[in-house]
A and B are shown apart, each in its own frame.
Chain A
Amino acid sequence: SQTIHQWPATLVQPVGSPLSLECTVEGTSNPNLYWYRQAAGRGLQLLFYSVGIGQISSEVPQNLSASRPQDRQFILSSKKLLLSDSGFYLCAWSAPLLSHYEQYFGPGTRLTVT
């Protein structure tokens, strides 16, 4: 069966510090991968998605970047965090060619920028 992992689960970082959140998927090959942010009381906002290694699409211009160094690894990064980067970050995967059918979410990372 497929599983998706995210770490860390929680993170408190000062403004201006770098960020690296990692997401890995097991039990599937060539998944579509997604990064979402969920602000308090708000809906999910798609940040990045990837259909393959090195292929990243950005949905919202911002202070963040994403990379996919391996087939089942997706990394969300920032060189300098802003207060507005605080939120709940979710990674998700879907089967290749079925991106609009079903997405499976990871447990999330709670980021607080102080």
Chain B
Amino acid sequence: KNQVEQSPQSLIILEGKNCTLQCNYTVSPFSNLRWYKQDTGRGPVSLTIMTFSENTKSNGRYTATLDADTKQSSLHITASQLSDSASYICVVSSKDMRFGAGTRLTVKP
């Protein structure tokens, strides 16, 4: 069983709408949690990184939250754009790094 579970597996939204992606993890001990954006056929690019003491981190229209007690994180995208279409990967670091399988987001005009 993967120690980092992401949901939904895929998501389709209309341009301009908001959406929230979820990441639940069982990794322990916890070091940090990162969200990456991966365009098709490209390498992942970091969006946010949060340590244990941080519960919110923003990067433009992207806002990540972390609840270390419940071991849950979310990535909220505001006013989506066509360029937001990509896979979003949650990565939790412990003694090593654990990757979620990603959420495939498609933004339609």
Contacts and interface: CB of A to CB of B under 8 A. Distances in A.
Interface of A: 41-46, 88, 90, 92, 100-108, 110
28 contacts: A42-B101, A43-B2, A43-B4, A43-B99, A43-B100, A43-B101, A44-B44, A46-B96, A46-B97, A88-B41, A92-B43, A100-B93, A100-B94, A100-B96, A100-B97, A101-B49, A101-B93, A103-B46, A103-B97, A104-B46, A105-B36, A105-B44, A105-B45, A107-B42, A107-B43, A108-B41, A108-B43, A110-B41
A105 B31 CA distance: 20
A110 B43 CA distance: 11
Contact of B99 (A44, A102, A107): A44
B11 to A, nearest CB: 15
Contacts of A92: 43
Contacts, number: 45
Interface residues of B, number: 22
Interface string B69-98: 000000000000000000001000110110
B59 to A, nearest CB: 13
Contacts of B34: 102
Contacts of A105: 36, 43-45
Nearest to A91: B43
A86 B104 CA distance: 21
4 smallest beta-carbon distances between A and B, as pairs:
A105-B43, A100-B93, A43-B101, A43-B99
Nearest to A42: B101
B32 A101 contact: yes
A92 B102 CA distance: 18
